[in-house]
């Protein structure tokens, strides 16, 4: 993450879950690429830490709970007040939920928390971005949803996470269709084993479909960030509908 910043203004991006992991990496990549970036997340301190990684970056940190409609509305209001428009939403905020619990032992509150964050939060942010993109001049923009390998194939004991990621694929397709008349392009990136704090356990051993516990390879999160930036900087006449980026030898192809 030592690349020089590109001073050419690319547009205005909102990145949710920007305080850590993939969200932080993408926000930094966009700022270095010349984007004005609105950093959204539940805690302000990590957002400020993300912004400090690009000292001359054009950014705004907004404390946001994506599960709360009022909080999401305030995020986009602050974005438009500061920058005048929204050109990109990276819909990234999410949670794995409780790991290792079989479905019969899963508390409903835990299920609901994952659904509220991963699916309802993504919908609320996409809806707010869609409204702004439809009405602004020039019209249009791009939404990139952070899916997962689990949008294709589950891990053991992952019902809430897997269900929300499959649902996010349907949301991506529906928004992509509905956005056509308004120059709103919608795509999804499905990520497998990017090296972040959330995936640290992959390198020490995780449960496999055959019941074994095995360490899994990971990839540099910067490679994910570069992929998102490529998707973001396409002209609105072109769209990456779905992209899958994964650690090359992780057990995904042939999982199970």
Containing domain of residue 33, as a range? 12-246
Q: Is residue 253 part of a domain?
A: no
What pLDDT, on a 0 to 100 scale, did the predictor assign at position 9? Answer: 63
Burial of 109: CB neighbours in 10 Å, binned 0-12, 13-18, 19+: exposed
User: What is the total count of domains within the chain?
Assistant: 1
Q: Is residue 255 part of a domain?
A: no
Catalytic one of 108, 130, 161, 182 = 161
What pLDDT, on a 0 to 100 scale, did the predictor assign at position 33? Answer: 97
What pLDDT, on a 0 to 100 scale, did the predictor assign at position 2? Answer: 41
252 among known catalytic residues: no
Q: What is the pLDDT along the chain (256 residues), one digit of tens a residue?
A: 444 555 456 899 999 999 999 999 999 999 999 999 999 999 999 999 999 999 999 999 999 999 999 999 999 999 999 999 999 999 999 998 887 788 999 999 999 999 999 999 999 999 999 999 999 999 999 999 999 988 888 887 889 999 999 999 999 999 999 999 999 999 999 998 887 776 777 777 778 878 888 778 888 999 999 999 999 999 999 999 999 999 988 888 765 4
Give the CA count within 13 Å in the CB-facing half-sphere of 141.
25
Q: Is residue 251 part of a domain?
A: no
Q: How far apart are CA 7 and CA 38, in angstroms?
A: 17
Q: Is residue 123 part of a domain?
A: yes
Q: Is residue 109 part of a domain?
A: yes
C-alpha distance from residue 148 to each of 33, 84, 88, 89, 255 (Å): 25, 32, 20, 17, 14
At 242, give phi and psi (nearest 5°).
Answer: -140, 130
Q: How far apart are CA 40 and CA 246, in angstroms?
A: 25
Alpha helix (H) residue ranges in the chain: 21-32, 44-52, 69-83, 108-115, 121-135, 159-178, 221-232
* CATH number where 59 lies: 3.40.50.720
């Amino acid at each position: 993450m030592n690349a020089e910043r590109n001073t050419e203004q690319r547009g205005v991006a909102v990145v949710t879950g920007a305080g850590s992991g993939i969200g932080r990496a993408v926000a930094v990549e966009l700022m270095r690429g010349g984007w004005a970036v609105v950093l959204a997340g539940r805690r302000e301190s990590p957002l400020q830490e993300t912004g400090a990684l690009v000292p001359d970056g054009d950014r705004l940190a907004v404390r946001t709970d994506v599960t709360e409609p009022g909080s999401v509305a305030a995020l986009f209001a602050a974005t438009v007040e500061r920058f005048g428009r929204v050109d990109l939403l990276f819909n990234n905020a999410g949670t794995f939920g409780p790991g290792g619990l079989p479905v019969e032992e899963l508390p409903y509150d835990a299920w609901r928390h994952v659904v509220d964050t991963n699916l309802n939060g993504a919908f609320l942010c996409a809806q707010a971005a869609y409204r702004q993109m439809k009405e602004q001049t020039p019209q249009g923009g791009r939404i990139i949803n952070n899916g997962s390998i689990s949008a294709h194939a589950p891990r053991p004991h992952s019902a809430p996470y897997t269900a929300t990621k499959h649902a996010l694929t349907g949301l991506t397709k529906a928004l992509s269709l509905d956005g056509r008349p308004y120059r709103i392009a919608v795509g999804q990136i499905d990520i497998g084993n990017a090296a972040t704090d959330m995936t640290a356990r992959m390198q020490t051993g995780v449960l496999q479909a055959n019941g074994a516990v095995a360490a899994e390879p990971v990839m540099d999160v910067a490679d994910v960030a570069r992929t998102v930036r490529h998707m973001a900087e396409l002209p609105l006449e072109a769209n990456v509908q779905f992209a899958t980026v994964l650690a090359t030898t992780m057990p995904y192809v042939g999982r199970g």
